[in-house]
Structure formats: C-alpha cells, structure tokens
Amino acid sequence: MNKITIWMAAMVACGIANAGSLTVEWVEPEKFRDASQDAYNSGFGRDRVLTSLEKYLVREADRVFPEGVSVELRITEVDLAGMVYPVPDMDRIRVIKQIHPARIHFSYRIVDEAGAVVDEGEEKLRDYTPDSNMRARMLASYEEHPYIKGLMLDWMRDRAKSLAKASTEAEG
C-alpha cells in the first residue's frame, strides 16, 4: 500500500472528510440521538443521512465562504426533525411536530488564507418551529433532511457575513 492509500483509509476510519473549504469530523455518530432515516436508528440509515448531510455542507460551504477560508466542523449530535413511526404495510413514516425539533451540536474553527483562526466556538442549533418552517419546506422539494440542512445553511451564511463585516472594518 502506498502512503496516500493508507492516509485515505485512516481518514475514512476516523470519520473525517475533507473537500474544498470544509472539513467534517463526526464524533461518535453511533451515539447521535436520531441520525437515521429508519425507525431503528440503524448504522446503515445513519451512514446514509450523514453522507447526505456532509455532501450538502461541503457544497454549500464552497458557495458561501470566500475562497481561501477553511471551516472545520466537529459534529457531536444530530437529531432529525420529527419522529419515525412504523406504519402497517409501509416501511416507516417521519412525522414532523414542534415537540421533536431538528437539532445539531458542533464546535467549529474558521481559518483564513494565512492560517490564522478568525472565528471559533461551539453551537447548539435547534429549529423551534419545524411544523411552520417555510424555508425547510421549500428545501424539502429537492433535499433530504431539510430542517438540519436549513439550520446549517443559515449558520454558514451568518458566519460568512460576520467574516465579511470584520474584514471590512479591519480595512477601513
């Protein structure tokens, strides 16, 4: 095995993915409250959800953050909106109600082109109104897990605006 193959295998084994300007580390995903599309919170269902979420985060970070800025996420909890109920003659159904909001907990670091940390912290995001969230309903027409993805997209946009404002203030 060459060094690159070993490095890639180590990255996959640790649950770390890197593409473009975003790096995601899933911290003990088997302990996430509800990160699976199925009623049994299976490993297969969880991997499917986290892969979908990761692809979305990478794509949106490349679009939202300026070139040269890198974002490191260390995700410690994912709880999809709603609750999965078994239904006769069907596999499952996820019912979205306010008592089961989407949640995601993570720590982050944002690093500029020079390698300096420009922002870092911890976040516990929660969608308090999943049953009336119009943004998520619009995302739902073309994205899986729109409530979590909507929370993260809003967070990335807020961080990018803060960085732009800080940069403008530093120049002026």
Mean pLDDT of the chain: 78
Pairing of strands 70-79, 83-85: unpaired
Is the model more confident about 2 or about 170? 170
Q: CB atoms < 10 A from the CB of 30, how many? A: 9
Is it the case that residue 25 has pLDDT exceeding 60? yes
pTM above 0.95, yes or no: no
Is it the case that residue 138 has pLDDT exceeding 80? no
Average pLDDT over residues 12-20: 41
Is the model more confident about 1 or about 138? 138
Average pLDDT over residues 15-26: 68
Helices (runs of H) and strands (runs of E) counted in the chain: 4, 7
List C-alpha distances in Å: 144 to 35, 136, 150, 155. Answer: 12, 10, 11, 18
Domain residue extents for the chain: 3-167
Is the model more confident about 98 or about 161? 161
